[in-house]
Amino acid sequence: MKLRLMLWLLGWLLKRALRRKPGFRQTLSDMRAFDWGIATEDLSVARHYRMSPEGIQSAPGLPVDLDLELRFDDETTAIRVLRKPTQQAFLDGMMAGQVRLVGDSGDLKKLQKLLTQL
């Protein structure tokens, strides 16, 4: 339940940043469109975000056409990594086999650049 609330709140923060922060808007405009999602490996908790300069949509589930997916072993690992989403935290999780990246690692850097502007 805690992870679901955290992911819903992340969607709210992304929408708010698009409305209020010109730097976030500019970075998103440079990227054009970016679709990504976060889920546990068993897909018991999953949420995706479709982001473009025109708006951000957030919905439960994990469609197959996303640019980037972050998969976590369990909710506890996801909460621990997402509380401090540093590059080192993701690398440590990947090395330990607790975090799996589906997509291009360059997209992860784009995502981290956006998330620092929240």
Amino acid 97: pLDDT: 93
Return d(Cα 22, Cα 27) in angstroms, integer.
9
State the average pLDDT over residues 71-94: 89
Question: Which residues touch 82 (CB under 8 Å, ≥6 apart)?
Answer: 6, 10, 38
Q: Which two tokens stand for residue 39?
A: 């889920």
Task: Give the CATH number for residue 35.
Answer: 3.30.1050.10
Facing residues of 58 across strands? 49
Residue with tokens 């951000």: 56
Structural domain harbouring 97: 2-115
Distance CA 13, CA 51 (A): 12
Q: What share of the chain has pLDDT > 70, as a percent? A: 100
Backbone angles phi and psi of 44, in degrees to 5: -70, -30
pLDDT in tens, 7-56: 999 999 999 999 999 999 999 999 889 999 999 999 999 999 999 999 99
The residue behind tokens 């589930």 is: 61
